[in-house]
Amino acid sequence: MHGDPDRQKVFTRRAALLAGGKGLLLTALVGRMYYLQVVEAERYATLAEENRINLRLLLPPRGRIVDRFGVPMADNRQNYRVVVVSEQAGDVDATLDALARIIHLGDGERQRILREVGRKRRFVPVTVRENLNWEEVARIEVNAPDLPGIMIEEGQSRHYLHGEEMAHVLGYVAAVSEDEATGDPLLELPGFRIGKAGIEKVYDEPLRGSGGSSQVEVNALGRVIRELSRQEGQRGADVELTLDVGLQRLASRRIRGESAAVVVLDVHTGDILAMASTPGFDPNAFNRGLSTEEWSSLASDPKAPMINKTIAGQYAPGSTFKMVVALAGLEAGIIAPETTSTCRGHVSLGDARFHCWKRGGHGPMDLEQAIVQSCDVYFYEAARRIGIDRIADMARRLGLGEPLGLELPGESRGLLPTRAWKLATTGAPWQKGETLIAGIGQGYILATPLQLAVMTARLVNGGVAVVPRLTRRVSAAGVAVPEPGAAPSLGLTPAHLAAIREAMDGVVNGPSGTAAGSPIREAGLEMGGKTGTAQVRRITKAEREAGVLKNEDLPWKERDHALFVGYAPVRAPRYAVAVVVEHGGSGSKKAAPIARDVLLAAQQRLGTRPPVSRRDKAPGDDQA
């Protein structure tokens, strides 16, 4: 017998069911494969390609900042950085210990590296140090066999060629903070820097340029196998400033060691030729990253190296304000050039006595000699007759009391008091004694060095409302820089302006002028000007009777500010200067010699003829 027929039937039925099930599974599998390989073929091909090919953004070179002659002030230079790959290093701590014996690694740097190593995937490089010098690179390369996972990479880094001398104008770049991330992919790249201050901040976007791209082949873990294609980014725009590097450096060095500011501008175009503020700071340090100790030193310095004193410093103008008072009186018809006043060393108002700087008095003074010898009593009396509101109105026309609209951020407005201002601010009425104090540039009045330079320019250029500017050109589409057009007239009487200029000439070149010790002796390059000494503390009656201490005998913070405003050449003014030396004492002894040296250099470098085109030829061309 071949077996039970019933059992045979059961086996046959089960085999059929099993075969049918296998057939269904095979059909489903074939259908799924058809769906994936035919219907969804394009989609999965794209996904596979994206998994294999990564598109990476490349940093573009940052645009340069150059002076009026194209001399670079901020540029890029080769940057060597050392990185560590934890996958290759194995024991990262041991590798860092070995590296620290070759180059310096601070505790803060080490902690930052370890944090990044823990946060990133093991094959991703982590920056250890940037801006290595060639000696450090060589030492690392020689010791490479003992430094597993350590590699040298090459890139570009921002470099400021003149350090502190240009710091306040150019500003600096630094790493992007979380608050500054805007969604721009460039901002997310490691090592990317943006402008944080000065011109770097004002023109940050055109200076950045546009990023390039690199296609790289990676494996399933994301590790780079090879680069398939590369398109470099577009370099950022160049920014051309009105500054002259040579003049800027001379001005900065002339006030080195002081807390001071110097501004030089062209009286016809408003071009700022020098804008120096000391002490300064090293902008390259912000690029590489300041240490805690470096920042603490800058923040605690009583001379405020981070403040651009040319536009943010506010000072009582002292006797440099006397031309404003004189012009206000002349224009109002209250005084005339021949108006005289006798100086006996003081003037009384009620129970108060207002003193002249010359204890014995100057005797009879007309307007010119009052400016030449800086007689306080003459201007006490003139201010009393003119009134504070007329004085403030003239000062405003000459550029004081309001921001001048300069490109740089952080410009202060200064302060011009009026009767209405004091009532609104303090609730108290204006006092006549306050008018007398304002007549010699003290009291509530405040001005920036830039405002004082503009005031001087408007006084000597024929009463034209010239406006200062710092940018000449930006080589990027869509970034327009206004050309210096014809500035409007202030409507001042030419004879009155001539009287002021003649008096300023006498201050420097007359035998009794307060700046007679600091003339420019080169024929045709002579300067005119006005000294100023602004008190920062009130001299008590007891101190005056006992004989006031000399400035050098007082603590630095209690010494007078030294000021000077001037122009050159006398016969056909082209340049105006303002100098402020904080707590420097006498304006005639401290500030006037600085102004003399700077104005002489400006004329020798840039010539004396009025500009005839937008671009100068070269330093020293067109000299008269």
Active site residues: 319
CA atoms within a 13 Å half-sphere pointing along the CA-CB vector of 378:
30
Sorted by sequence, the CB contacts under 8 Å of residue 473 that are 6+ apart come out as: 239, 240, 481
What gap in Å lies between CA 322 and CA 331, rounded to an integer? Answer: 14
Tokens coding 96:
């860092």
Q: Are 102 and 114 in contact (CB under 8 A)?
A: no
Sorted by sequence, the CB contacts under 8 Å of residue 496 that are 6+ apart come out as: 327, 330, 331
What gap in Å lies between CA 7 and CA 289, rounded to an integer? Answer: 88
DSSP line for 163-208: GGGGHHHH-EEEEPPGGG--S-GGGGSTT-EEEEEHHHHHTHHHHH
CA atoms within a 13 Å half-sphere pointing along the CA-CB vector of 50:
6
Q: Are 598 and 274 in contact (CB under 8 A)?
A: yes
- Residue 619 in 3-state DSSP? coil
- Cβ count near 568 (within 10 Å): 30
The identity of residue 232, as a single letter, is E
Q: Are 591 and 580 in contact (CB under 8 A)?
A: yes
Sorted by sequence, the CB contacts under 8 Å of residue 32 that are 6+ apart come out as: none
Write the CA distances from 316 to 102, 255, 537, 587, integer angstroms: 54, 20, 12, 13
Phi-psi region of 72 (alpha: psi -120 to 50; beta: other; left: phi over 0): beta
Tokens coding 59:
């940093």
Sorted by sequence, the CB contacts under 8 Å of residue 226 that are 6+ apart come out as: 216, 217
What gap in Å lies between CA 533 and CA 372, rounded to an integer? Answer: 14
Q: Are 601 and 587 in contact (CB under 8 A)?
A: no
- Count of positions (residues) in the chain: 624
Tokens coding 507:
């201050």
DSSP line for 69-83: T--EEEEEEEEEEEE
Q: Are 157 and 130 in contact (CB under 8 A)?
A: yes
What gap in Å lies between CA 414 and CA 426, rounded to an integer? Answer: 18
